[in-house]
Chains A and B, each alone.
Chain A
Amino acid sequence: MRKNVLFMIFSSIKFCLLLLFFLFTATNSFAQNITVKGQVLDGETKTPIPAVNILVKGTSLKAATNANGVYTLTNVDPKAVLVFTYIGYTPQEISLHGQTQLNVILNADNGNLKEVVVTALGIKKEKKSIGYAVQEVKGETLEKVKSPTAIGALAGKVAGLNISNTTDLFQSPTISLRGQTPLIVIDGIPDPTADPYKINADDIESITVLKGTAAGALYGSIGINGAIMYTTKRGKKGKTSVEINSSTMFQTGYTVVPKVQTQYGAGNNGKYAYVDGSGGGTEGGGWIWGPKLDQKDPSTPSGYYETTQYNSPTDPVTGKLIPLPWISRGKDNIKNFFRTGMLSSNSVSVSTSGENGSFRISAANNYQKGTVPNTGVNNSSFSVSGNYALSPKLTMDGRLTYNREYANNYPSTGYGPTNILYNLLLWIGPDVDIRDLRNYWVKGKEGIQQRNYNLSWYNNPYFIANEQLNGYRKDNTFGNFSLNYQIAPDFSAKLRSGFNQYGTDADSRYPYSYIGYGTLSKGDYSYTKSSHFDIATDLILTYKHKFNDDFNLSVIGGAANSYNNTKGMTTSTDGLNIPGFYNIANSTNPLKGSNSLQERQINSLYTMADLEAYRFLYLSFTGRRDQTSTLPVKNNAYFYPSGSLSAVLSDALKLPETISFLKVRTSVAKVNSGAITTDPNNFYAQIQTYNIGNKWNGNASLSWPDSYKMPNLIPNTVMSWESGMVVGLFKNRLNVDVTYFQNKEYNNFQLVPLSETSGYTTLLQNANVYQRKGWEFMVSGTPVKTSSFEWESSFNFSNSHRWLKEATLSTDGYIGNLKVGERADKIFTSLYQRTPDGQTIYGSNGMPLNDPYQRSIGYADANWIYGWQNTFKYKNISLSIAVDGRIGGSIYSTTNYKMWWGGTALGTVNQYRDDANAGKSTYVGKGVIVTSGAATYDNHGNIISDTRQYAPNTTPVNYIAYNTGTGSSAENNYFYYSGTYLKMREVALTYTLPQKWIKKQKVFQGASVSLIGNNLFMLAKIPNVDPDAESDNLQTPSMRSIGFNFNLKF
């Protein structure tokens, strides 16, 4: 109790302010200033380096070396720190400690091993000192080949980061870092609600991926899953530059497109006769199991079999529909419907810098024209950023970005009547020519009744594209400022505050006569608005001290406060008085609506201590205490520690010549979720409340949840450990970075199933222990390097799996179907009954028998994901090629299942189908029947005893009934496919204008032109769909993009 009170006082705002006041008023003693001289030499050749910049840190005092590498600085504080920088060399900071002669050796910067990287809170550290896995991607790699989102372009580039890019327009890629969703951070400011569209790729200086819990521990509970840190660009020192970057790509062809049969049309049982579009009776219920097309029939006027169809003219005498020839008019429906999509990205930036600071402004626009007619997305960004030294000791830095995403219409996704593919690929037979449906209103009923061949299940694809509209507009404003005060050469303070704000409004319009599941729209219209604001403020004190040549210490202490607020409101009507007038004032019935508010506050204190010993050993500790509003007050604060160690053995030991660099590292961390939920956007998850129920004729209702949150829940916790090694061989021509990590996840929130007869179906409890393990490998290097030709290559592969280690509340070692010791991503699904050796068991009616237990059919996670980037440079031409993919893991394909079920799959074209059309039952399912005996099962479906005897199944069934009943699931592994694939993700062939041409004129400082391609080609085991998305719920065909990039620097 006393501890709590003390902590409360300690964490109070007053304390922060007092501390700040104390710090800024602390005077530093002034000693007699001195003059410093010295020479700068190259570490390898030991020759002098001219024009090295020397800056007295925290001042504007500077000098440069002359042709002999000699410099002189006068009037220098004897405690000052000198910073030596030269392009191509690793910068060095050296404390004077009163020395007047200071000779310095600068080492050439060989690749990434000596780089500085951005770590948690935006703290920059030398890469070799880091004891956990970090990977940086430079902004330039995102420059040429554009993805709809900047993060989507990271696919395959970072070991342990799995980006699944969807084929659907304006859908966010799925980001998974070591199997979890990481925190997004922009310029050190956490952005818990970041959407991947808000960041302009050309504003990104670098992206740093902090892979593990230890790396993100300094962010506390929100950093539990690691972090992806964006660092935005600032003006480059000493010049004014204008850069124009323009990429345009056209989606000209298909990487993967479903192949459908073109021999049978709509109907069922080989019959079809259109009556009124209501779908039943002779129209066959909406199936594509109709009569064979293009069948000669000499008795008809056309010479082909004829039947009534949706576009049949009416006989003016009899009033009946006139039969039309049943021919394959719609062979190319997919090709005829989709148009050439486009992705155009244009940006301009201007930056300048002067004596004391720099300034950058930028503007960018991305336009995506969808392959579905009347769809597209615009995304514009404006950004200003700058930094300035107000005094030698006080610098400020800031950025403000405005981003607007807007789409008047983007296509709906997922299996269902709003999906274009649903209406175009699955449920329009080749008897219908999609081009005939371009006029999508019934004549005389424009705005009221769509024209389509079926009016009970499906919509005209043109009607969906032009009338069922999904609008979305989002304004993002986000930025930060920071002030950095160098109190003393060893001691600095930083105040940083950043915010993310957005407002969205989205509407969806369902025109009259739109057919959904259980709806026939009379003008459904909904309008949703939401707004978000979050602000995070940090005060960070840094103390750096070099005790002697062998010991360096850096300590930071910080306090932070963050506040999140999200509001939302939605209003909808399901009927408009005036068709097509989408305004809620036009509603027929009372409006339906709801609103919500989510607020969260976290107060934090944190510290970090980095110790460098004997110039090769780096030890780091971090600790953070979060007090959060998402936990009950009595128990709302937790401490998050981490520790890491890095040893650069190549700096300490004499190693064989081939090994130029060797580092080992290890780290541990313990972090918890800081909330009683695994949903980071639910800030009230610890409170048990009623749910709002359906309103009946104006009477409101509530219902009590079927799950109960047990009292005394504590946040779920991850104890993480990782180790790794970096080896540089052959003068760092070949680098290998290996990481192994292991997380123990305990106190998990588990909805522990309960007998519903107790009153609840689940109890939310702290239960079960999972273990997540994985390997990450990165191999990079320069296999070939001559004066004119260079090949750079980088290959990474990684995996991450999760196992159930303990089922703490289970009486029999199971959680649902999953047994202790098994991988948690094991897929269980309903299959037909099978013999122990895997044959399908059929019933007496020739149909496979349902199994009352769920069975396993594989694992969801990939065994490995991999990526391979190559750059070939020959003089002014460079070619970069990026391929990536995954190995293993099972993906369920809705598209393939529905194609078999509905009658459009190529595999359904066979003799059995013709037989079924002729009314004959000839298909015999492959498998057995049980002739005698029975099996008994335990409660999890494991066989206890089995006396079954089998005989081959010989009962013929109607092939169409078999497919509409089972979809031929058993024959197609229940539509689970291996997720293995290899994709040619990006190709860029760039020609850079030679330096000599550049020098001849004064307009350009650099110019390049590239031929670019995206998503060009793939090899995959799954048919008809792109496994890149890692799931298929009727995805848009995967398109190949080809185009140009122009880059001009003035």
Chain B
Amino acid sequence: MKKKYLFSIVFLVGIALSSCKKFDYYQINPNTPTQADPSLELANIEQTAFATISTDAGLATRQLVYTQSASTTQYYGWQRAGFSYGNISQVVKMEQEAVRTAKPNYKYLGKFFRSYYIVGITLNFGDVPYSQAMQALNNNFSDAAVRPVYDAQEDIYLQVLNDLKLASDSLSASGGIINNDIIYNGDVTQWKKAINTFSLRVLMSLSKKEANTKLNIKQRFNDIVSNPAKYPLFTSNDDNAKLTYYDLVGNRYPYNNSNSLKTDYYLDDSFVKMLKGLKDPRLFVYGTPTPNAVAAGLSTKDFNAYAGLIGSAPVADNVQKMTAGNASAINHRYAYDAVNEPSVAIGYPELQFILAEAVARGWIAGDINKFYTGGIRNAMLFSRYKGDAAYTLNDIETYLNQQSVALQAGTQVQQILMQRYINTFMNTGWQSFYEQRRTGFPTFETAGSGMLNGGKIPTRWMYPTAELNNNGVNVDNAIKRQYPGGDDINGVMWLLQ
């Protein structure tokens, strides 16, 4: 009797403990990897880097007006912005995996993405950490590594220009196949075109530093433009550095079905007047006719069917005009079309406008009109949403042949920048804001009583709170050496001096 129980107990204990495994077994996470091929990081970086569609940029550049509440962007009362160094961390990680797997092309793409991101950051703040940044990813947690010093903006640009050159020089077919590339499908030449075109954008953004011998921007600009075999540039819209949207989960146009875009975004009055003045048919693909115009039976291609709200006027005034049916909302496609148009990081039309401005500034020799009209033509081709339904190829030529569009002596730079501005409606991020800040063109309307910041357009953002908490000494030093008035949104950074 006793033995029977004993046997069964021993047996049961055996069963109960048979689930034991060696502890080493549990030291591998079966759900996510610890190492990866650099191509997997690339697809992630590209999605972030090339996603440039932003309604905020539209509000800050007087193309859009927001009616739900007082937008600090629209009324120029913003304060701090985030840094987004996390994007650079992903690039560094890709570079590390490139070294580990001996696939150098990813390392050179990394140089481009690093440069692309740090330019975006320094444009917003001025001096920021760069040369001493990202060391924690090498498991360096020393004091200097976790609290990096701030580099002078000038030094950052020097590093960027050198890195971009290095990337273009070094990317090669022998550097290994680039997989998982959602932008150029691994085409090295296309990447070189994008990198060189981006270099020209960076050089033009430094136009106030023409005389700077350290940077030597005119020389660098010419080095690229004059050697298309070594430094190829975009030759058509097909070359655009763009993220194409798909009607798939997580791949749709970022404002697809945005509730707010359906009800709260209207065209700005100054922008509508600009397009009306030029008889620019892009108005029909950027906006919708006002409810009153629809009620009155006006055609969508009638310039009189469009009216904007005043970006600097108080919200209540704009809401009044909106609820009275007198405002053109942003075009439905931005909310209702899952694919809409691609997000362009930098495109062929922009290159043409940069080259036109370079001619106007005497940096390079060339046919300014060819660059200018080429820029407009390609910009209008890009914006031709659903083809002829928007406007025909003839309409484009008609537009170009207008006296009001043709370049006039004395206002060349202004006209080039206005076209560059019209081209970036709901695209290419904040580029128009930076260009306006550099050149003053076009003028943003600030007369209304809704304006914050004493009626001024800010020139920068305050450093993020996290930096004050976690890198206080270095950010304080950077503020002191750059901005006598303290960390202020109206401070003038080196780039703009």
Interface residues of A (CB under 8 A from B): 13, 16-17, 20-21, 24-25, 267-269, 271-273, 275, 278-286, 390-391, 394, 456-457, 483, 485, 495, 497, 515-520, 535, 537, 539, 561, 563, 572, 574, 589-590, 592, 596-597, 599-601, 603, 627, 629-630, 632-633, 636, 683-684, 687-697, 699-704, 706, 708, 710, 753-761, 763, 812, 814, 816, 843-845, 847, 850, 852-853, 916, 919, 921, 936, 939-940, 957-958, 960-961, 964-965
In the complex, what residue of chain A is closest to B8 when comparing beta carbons?
A483
List the B side residues contacting A760 at CB < 8 Å: 89, 136-137
Question: Once the chains are docked, how many angstroms separate the CA of A843 from the CA of B319?
Answer: 21
- Whether B259 contacts A517 by the Cβ 8 Å rule is yes
Task: Pull 20 A–B residue pairs with CB atoms less than 8 Å apart, ordered by A.
Answer: A269-B316, A271-B323, A279-B259, A280-B322, A280-B329, A483-B12, A629-B26, A632-B27, A696-B47, A699-B43, A701-B43, A710-B141, A756-B86, A757-B471, A758-B134, A758-B147, A814-B469, A816-B469, A957-B314, A961-B314
**Which residues of chain B (122-140) have a CB below 8 Å from chain A?**
128-129, 133-137
Most chain A Cβ neighbours within 10 Å, of B1, B133, B248: B248
- Whether B26 contacts A601 by the Cβ 8 Å rule is yes
List the A side residues contacting B496 at CB < 8 Å: none
Tell me which of A688, A702, A965 contacts B69 (CB under 8 A): A965
Question: Once the chains are docked, how many angstroms separate the CA of A278 from the CA of B10?
Answer: 72
- Whether B5 contacts A390 by the Cβ 8 Å rule is yes
Question: Once the chains are docked, how many angstroms separate the CA of A702 from the CA of B48?
Answer: 12
In the complex, what residue of chain A is closest to B266 when comparing beta carbons?
A280
Q: Given A515-B259, A697-B182, A589–B247 Cβ distance below 8 Å?
A: yes
- Whether A561 contacts B16 by the Cβ 8 Å rule is yes
Question: Once the chains are docked, how many angstroms separate the CA of A753 from the CA of B135?
Answer: 16
* Given A695-B250, A757-B148, A958-B315, 14 more pairs with CB closer than 8 A: A21-B6, A21-B10, A267-B323, A268-B323, A271-B320, A279-B259, A280-B264, A282-B291, A596-B31, A694-B44, A694-B47, A702-B33, A755-B146, A755-B467
List the A side residues contacting B141 at CB < 8 Å: 710, 763
Which one, B77-85, B106-114, B420-428, is touching chain A?
A: B77-85
Q: Given A21-B10, A758-B146, A537–B16 Cβ distance below 8 Å?
A: yes
In the complex, what residue of chain A is closest to B29 when comparing beta carbons?
A684
CB distance from A831 to the nearest CB of B (A): 14
CB distance from A213 to the nearest CB of B (A): 26
Which one, B34-42, B167-175, B395-403, is touching chain A?
A: B34-42
In the complex, what residue of chain A is closest to B330 when comparing beta carbons?
A280
- Whether A279 contacts B33 by the Cβ 8 Å rule is no
**Which residues of chain B (241-287) have a CB below 8 Å from chain A?**
244, 246-251, 255-259, 262-264
In the complex, what residue of chain B is closest to A756 when comparing beta carbons?
B85
**Which residues of chain B (307-339) have a CB below 8 Å from chain A?**
314-316, 319-320, 322-325, 327, 329
- Whether B148 contacts A391 by the Cβ 8 Å rule is no
Interface size classification for chain B: 35 or more
In the complex, what residue of chain A is closest to B320 when comparing beta carbons?
A269
B90 at the interface (CB under 8 A from A): yes
Tell me which of B21, B248, B462, B469 contacts A940 (CB under 8 A): B469
- Whether A703 contacts B41 by the Cβ 8 Å rule is yes
List the B side residues contacting A269 at CB < 8 Å: 316, 319-320, 323
- Whether B466 contacts A755 by the Cβ 8 Å rule is yes
Question: Once the chains are docked, how many angstroms separate the CA of A921 from the CA of B449?
Answer: 13
In the complex, what residue of chain A is closest to B78 when comparing beta carbons?
A850
Tell me which of A633, A692, A753, A916 contacts B469 (CB under 8 A): A753
- Whether A683 contacts B465 by the Cβ 8 Å rule is no
Interface residues of B (CB under 8 A from A): 1-2, 5-6, 9-10, 12-14, 16-17, 19-21, 23-34, 36, 40-44, 46-47, 67-70, 72, 75, 77, 79-80, 83, 85-86, 88-90, 92-93, 128-129, 133-137, 141, 145-148, 180, 182, 244, 246-251, 255-259, 262-264, 290-291, 314-316, 319-320, 322-325, 327, 329, 449-452, 454, 462, 465-472, 486
List the A side residues contacting B41 at CB < 8 Å: 701-704
List the B side residues contacting A597 at CB < 8 Å: 30-31
CB distance from B480 to the nearest CB of A (A): 13
Tell me which of B13, B75, B93, B263 contacts A704 (CB under 8 A): B93
Q: Given A20-B13, A601-B19, A627-B23, A759–B264 Cβ distance below 8 Å?
A: no
List the B side residues contacting A696 at CB < 8 Å: 43, 46-47, 182, 250-251
Tell me which of A279, A519, A599, A961 contacts B316 (CB under 8 A): A961
List the A side residues contacting B325 at CB < 8 Å: 273, 281-282
- Whether B146 contacts A754 by the Cβ 8 Å rule is yes
Q: Given A13-B17, A636-B23, A687-B29, A755–B471 Cβ distance below 8 Å?
A: yes
List the A side residues contacting B247 at CB < 8 Å: 589
CB distance from B272 to the nearest CB of A (A): 16
In the complex, what residue of chain B is closest to A281 when comparing beta carbons?
B291
List the B side residues contacting A694 at CB < 8 Å: 44, 47, 250-251
Question: Once the chains are docked, how many angstroms separate the CA of A268 from the CA of B327?
Answer: 14
List the B side residues contacting A757 at CB < 8 Å: 83, 85, 128-129, 133-134, 148, 467, 471
- Whether B246 contacts A755 by the Cβ 8 Å rule is no
List the A side residues contacting B263 at CB < 8 Å: 278-280, 283, 285-286, 456-457
Most chain A Cβ neighbours within 10 Å, of B12, B70, B255: B70
Tell me which of A391, A519, A688, A853 contacts B1 (CB under 8 A): A391
Question: Once the chains are docked, how many angstroms separate the CA of A920 from the CA of B77?
Answer: 24
Tell me which of A632, A636, A755 contacts B470 (CB under 8 A): A755
Tell me which of B6, B28, B43, B147 contacts A700 (CB under 8 A): B43
Question: Once the chains are docked, how many angstroms separate the CA of A916 from the CA of B320?
Answer: 10
- Whether A845 contacts B314 by the Cβ 8 Å rule is yes
- Whether B9 contacts A759 by the Cβ 8 Å rule is no
- Whether A690 contacts B34 by the Cβ 8 Å rule is yes
- Whether A495 contacts B133 by the Cβ 8 Å rule is no
- Whether A697 contacts B251 by the Cβ 8 Å rule is yes
List the B side residues contacting A701 at CB < 8 Å: 40-44, 47, 180
Closest 9 CB pairs of A and B: A958-B316, A629-B26, A537-B16, A271-B323, A755-B471, A701-B44, A701-B43, A759-B137, A939-B468
- Whether B466 contacts A753 by the Cβ 8 Å rule is yes
CB distance from B145 to the nearest CB of A (A): 6
- Whether A268 contacts B33 by the Cβ 8 Å rule is no
Question: Once the chains are docked, how many angstroms separate the CA of A518 from the CA of B34?
Answer: 33
List the A side residues contacting B468 at CB < 8 Å: 939
Q: Given A271-B323, A518-B256, A763-B141, A601–B262 Cβ distance below 8 Å?
A: no
- Whether A561 contacts B10 by the Cβ 8 Å rule is no
In the complex, what residue of chain B is closest to A285 when comparing beta carbons?
B263
Question: Once the chains are docked, how many angstroms separate the CA of A600 from the CA of B315?
Answer: 57
CB distance from B181 to the nearest CB of A (A): 8
Question: Once the chains are docked, how many angstroms separate the CA of A882 from the CA of B466?
Answer: 48
In the complex, what residue of chain B is closest to A590 when comparing beta carbons?
B248
Q: Given A271-B324, A852-B462, A497–B68 Cβ distance below 8 Å?
A: no
- Whether B257 contacts A518 by the Cβ 8 Å rule is yes
- Whether B93 contacts A689 by the Cβ 8 Å rule is no
Question: Once the chains are docked, how many angstroms separate the CA of A13 from the CA of B90?
Answer: 46
List the B side residues contacting A812 at CB < 8 Å: 472
- Whether B5 contacts A759 by the Cβ 8 Å rule is no
In the complex, what residue of chain A is closest to B487 when comparing beta carbons?
A852
Question: Once the chains are docked, how many angstroms separate the CA of A957 from the CA of B68?
Answer: 16
Q: Given A394-B5, A457-B259, A497–B12 Cβ distance below 8 Å?
A: yes
Tell me which of B10, B77, B251 contacts A20 (CB under 8 A): B10
List the B side residues contacting A24 at CB < 8 Å: 2, 5-6, 9
List the A side residues contacting B324 at CB < 8 Å: 271, 282
List the B side residues contacting A603 at CB < 8 Å: 20
Question: Once the chains are docked, how many angstroms separate the CA of A1027 from the CA of B42?
Answer: 48
- Whether B21 contacts A601 by the Cβ 8 Å rule is yes
- Whether A535 contacts B128 by the Cβ 8 Å rule is no
- Whether A758 contacts B70 by the Cβ 8 Å rule is no
Question: Once the chains are docked, how many angstroms separate the CA of A495 from the CA of B13?
Answer: 8
Question: Once the chains are docked, how many angstroms separate the CA of A690 from the CA of B12?
Answer: 41
In the complex, what residue of chain B is closest to A963 when comparing beta carbons?
B69
- Whether A706 contacts B19 by the Cβ 8 Å rule is no
In the complex, what residue of chain A is closest to B88 when comparing beta carbons?
A759
